[in-house]
């Protein structure tokens, strides 16, 4: 049985998509027959959870906490041996721990950038990232035996930066909500935001971060949207808090057109939406986009996300930012029946095409290829 270590800086909800997707991937790999350890750091707590073929070990962060340092996580790694060491996300100390452990034990080392190598992300706070590459996890990128990308676009971004190791493209999976779960979430959001029960609602659901064009979306909505529509913005506070965004809306004269809520600890609000909006600067996959479609909601996203296929399938729109406002106006003019039909087609498509079982199979095969390459005797010229 292949023994695999999956490492991620955090499984806390406010750390965004990888906190959800890496856990789901670890579970899928375990169901596929691997023995998986999932290691992470936490703000304060040590947590231990054991399932069939899946061990979860979460250790408290130590100073400097901002870099997700964790003496316990490092010690946990030192006490184990794995066939594969797979680290998710960049710029933080757990990547260094994974690199060190793989180097010491000879295990192939795989890195998932999780969107952090796109052109926009690579240039954002460039100085901090140069510092991290040199001092936080020195040599990690060059030491990788392979990369895991969640879309072909992300694979191309890795290659464009000059990395030539093999890349496995294994998208995130998505599952439609159970009917009872869907109904409970709808009822809850109708309580928290009563207007969503009375008006057609467009939904933004992601981190409140400039990467997502949060302020630009508000501006565009106030300029373009009919007064009968509501924009519901639900997210994880990061660069902006809900109160700051509500103030921004009021100062722009948009009272009653936008409502902002903290989404931490609450169910996803897809059931109250007729249209999902994410005008992001960059997404390696965009799990919330897939989740929205799995919930039967058509999407309007930017073409810096890997979802151009929604255009040809008629389940939404994936367009350049320069065209976003015009397409938003057209989408909001569609009838409720037309939007619902797009959403139903979206649900069918993503649930058939994107599964965690499929991603786990692709990654397991990639791991085996890396192990076979590592075991292959060197050729006379020493290249292996």
DSSP state at residue 164: -
CA distance 289 to 292: 5
For residues 290 and 368, state if they share a domain: no
For 262, the enclosing helix (H) or strand (E) is: strand 258-262
Residue 332's nearest CA partner among 236, 257, 253, 255 is 257
User: Are 33 and 10 contained in the same domain?
Assistant: yes
Residues 161 and 102 in one domain: yes
Q: Is residue 381 part of a domain?
A: no
Task: Clarify whether residues 145 and 275 are in a common domain.
Answer: no
Domain-embedded: residue 383: no
Specify the pLDDT at position 44. Answer: 87
Q: Which of 43, 67, 64, 62 is nearest to 132 (CA)?
A: 67
HSE (side-chain half, CA atoms, 13 Å) at 117: 26
Coil, strand or helix: which one is 8? strand
Q: Are 179 and 207 in contact (CB under 8 A)?
A: no
Residue 236 domain flag = yes
223 and 330 housed in the same domain: yes
Determine, yes or no, domain membership for 77: yes
Q: pLDDT tens, position by position, for the chain (384 residues)?
A: 999 999 999 998 776 778 889 999 999 999 999 999 999 999 888 999 999 999 999 999 999 999 999 999 999 999 999 999 999 999 999 999 999 999 999 999 999 999 999 999 999 999 999 999 999 999 999 999 999 999 999 999 999 999 999 999 999 999 899 999 999 999 999 999 999 999 999 999 999 999 999 999 999 999 999 999 999 999 999 999 999 999 999 999 998 999 999 999 999 999 999 999 999 999 999 999 999 999 999 999 999 999 999 999 999 999 999 999 999 999 999 999 999 999 999 999 999 999 999 999 999 999 999 999 988 887 666 555
Same domain, 204 and 189: yes
List the CATH number of the domain containing 211: 3.40.50.2000
Q: Range of 259's domain?
A: 179-353
Task: For residue 107, tell me if it sits in a domain.
Answer: yes
What is d(CA 360, CA 357) in angstroms, rounded to the nearest whole number?
5
Residues 141 and 43 in one domain: yes
Residues 331 and 364 in one domain: no
Whether residues 38 and 134 share a domain: the answer is yes
CA–CA distance, 99 with 341 (Å, rounded to integer): 48
CB 193 within 8 A of CB 271: no
Distance (Å, rounded) from C-alpha 26 to C-alpha 148?
A: 14
Domains contained in the chain, number: 2
262 domain-assigned: yes
Q: How far apart are CA 32 and CA 170, in angstroms?
A: 15
DSSP assigned state of 225: S
Predicted local confidence at residue 380, as pLDDT: 65
Give the Cα separation of 287 and 290 in Å (integer).
Answer: 5
Asked if 65 and 186 sit in the same domain, the reply is no
The CA distance from 330 to 86, in Å, is: 43
Same domain, 317 and 208: yes
User: Where do runs of H (alpha helix) occur along 295-379?
Assistant: 309-313, 321-333, 336-353, 356-375
């Amino acid at each position: 049985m292949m023994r695999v270590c999956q490492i991620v800086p955090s499984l806390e909800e406010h750390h965004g998509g990888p906190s959800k997707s890496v856990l789901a991937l670890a579970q899928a790999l375990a169901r596929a027959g691997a023995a998986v350890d999932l290691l992470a750091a936490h703000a304060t707590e040590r947590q231990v959870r054991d399932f069939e073929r899946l061990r979860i070990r979460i250790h408290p962060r130590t100073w400097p906490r901002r870099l997700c340092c964790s003496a316990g996580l490092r010690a946990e790694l030192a006490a184990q041996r794995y066939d594969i060491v797979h680290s998710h996300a960049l710029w933080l100390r757990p990547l260094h721990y994974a690199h060190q452990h793989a180097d010491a034990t000879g295990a192939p080392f795989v890195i998932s950038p999780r969107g952090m190598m796109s052109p926009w992300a690579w240039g954002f706070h460039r100085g901090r990232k140069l510092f991290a590459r040199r001092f936080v996890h020195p040599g990690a990128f060059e030491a990788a035996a392979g990369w895991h990308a969640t879309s072909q676009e992300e694979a191309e971004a890795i290659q464009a930066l000059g990395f030539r190791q093999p890349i496995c493209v294994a998208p995130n999976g998505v599952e439609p909500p159970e009917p009872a779960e869907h109904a409970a979430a709808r009822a809850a959001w109708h309580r928290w935001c009563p207007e969503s029960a009375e008006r057609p609602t467009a939904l933004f659901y992601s981190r409140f971060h400039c990467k997502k064009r949060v302020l630009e979306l508000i501006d565009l909505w106030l300029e373009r949207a009919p007064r009968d529509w509501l924009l519901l913005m639900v997210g994880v506070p990061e660069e902006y808090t809900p109160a700051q965004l509500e103030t921004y809306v009021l100062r722009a004269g948009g009272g009653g057109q936008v409502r902002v809520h903290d989404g931490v600890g609450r169910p996803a609000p897809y059931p109250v939406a007729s249209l999902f909006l994410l005008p992001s600067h960059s997404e390696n996959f965009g799990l919330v986009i897939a989740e929205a479609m799995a919930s039967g909601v058509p999407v309007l996203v930017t073409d810096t996300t890997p979802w151009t296929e929604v255009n040809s399938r008629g389940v939404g729109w994936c367009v350049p930012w320069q065209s976003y406002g015009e397409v938003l106006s057209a989408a909001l003019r569609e009838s409720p029946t037309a939007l619902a039909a797009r959403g139903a087609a979206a649900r069918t498509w993503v649930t058939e095409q994107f599964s965690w079982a499929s991603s786990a199979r692709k990654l397991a095969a990639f791991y085996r290829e890396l192990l076979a390459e590592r075991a292959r005797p060197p050729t006379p010229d020493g290249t292996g």
